[in-house]
Amino acid sequence: MTGSIRADEPAAGAQVVPFYGYDDCIRLENKHTRVTLAPVIGGRVLEYTLDGKNALYLPPGGEGWVYELGKNGGSPAPGRFDIGPEQTIPRHPQLWAGRWTGEITGPRSARLTSQKDKPTGVQLIRDFTLDGKTSRLSCKQTIKNISNESKEYCHWSRTFALGGGIVVIPLTQPSRFPNGYVMYDPAPFINFRPVDPNIRIRDGFLEITAAPKYPKLGMDTYAGWFAYLMKNDLMFVKRFPAYPDRVYNEVAGLTMSIWYPDRPMCELEPIGPRERIAAGKSASFTETWWLLPHKFPKAGKDADLKQIAAQVAHETTP
């Protein structure tokens, strides 16, 4: 499947390649890290690898899928981004999975741009930049108001990482949630005091060790990062700004969410604050990704939370 790619001049560590059934993907890479972007399927990330190990869930059988109006089936591409709030935003399939355009913008850098979306009144622009040496990937999403009236939306990341891992989230105080998180129990009901054997608070961290009874979880921590340990001995770290004095307009005022079903993927979801965007104006939110080598705990052993926090601080702090 072919999208629209611009690459006016050669750029180091950036090229157009075929991948996963799509003819025109953009690849950003350095010696150890590779990122593959697919404009044609909602401006998504297909691949984020460190030394050949992909952190993203890329299922067999989804190759070359493209959105068509009225077409059944879901979109398999894993590195998803979106806008919210989840429960009140108009349906927006063209933003979510439609054909975007792409361009290489510099060394290890690319921009993906959506169509202008009438239901939401916005256009989305995503800028990706991979560091020259490390796995650091900057993911900036800009919401551009193309309507004639003010709009209120928020950034919502929805990345499918490999399932079966351990989520480690530093908690902050005060919290609105007695147990550090809420559980959609089942949705649309929200349990503000959930208890689940696969979720615990330990040493100031919320730890999700396996799929809970109900998969959708929400947090209001302002720590601005979390880590996800995977069985391929990678740790996926996301950093993102969090604002204690701003309004978060998800139903439960979440700064992040985790969707952890008993399936081959786990969804990692930083959420931005409410953006009031005047007609013709824009608002941006940047989350930064890392892949770090980290041995997955052996059966019956706990993750070393102090070691994780130290590694994240040492290797991902600007």
CATH assignment, 4-316: 2.70.98.10
| Residue 1 confidence (pLDDT) above 50 | no
Q: Would strands 122-130 and 234-239 be described as parallel, antiparallel, or unpaired? A: unpaired
Residues 205-232, mean pLDDT to the nearest whole number: 98
Three-state SS for 110? strand
Residues 226-255, mean pLDDT to the nearest whole number: 98
Q: Is the dihedral of CA 245, 249, 252, 258 positive or negative?
A: negative
pTM above 0.85, yes or no: yes
Tens digit of each residue's pLDDT (9 = 90 or more) over 101-149: 999 999 999 999 999 999 999 999 999 999 999 999 999 999 999 999 9
Q: What was the pLDDT predicted at 2?
A: 43
Percent of the chain with pLDDT over 70: 96
pLDDT category at 77 given cuts 50, 70, 90 is confident
- The domain locations on the chain are 4-316
Q: Is the dihedral of CA 175, 179, 180, 183 positive or negative?
A: negative
Q: Bigger pLDDT: 317 or 87? A: 87
The CA R_g of the chain, rounded to the nearest whole Å, is: 19
Percent of the chain with pLDDT over 90: 91
| Residue 10 confidence (pLDDT) above 90 | no
Which helix (H) or strand (E) is 105 found in, with range?
strand 101-106
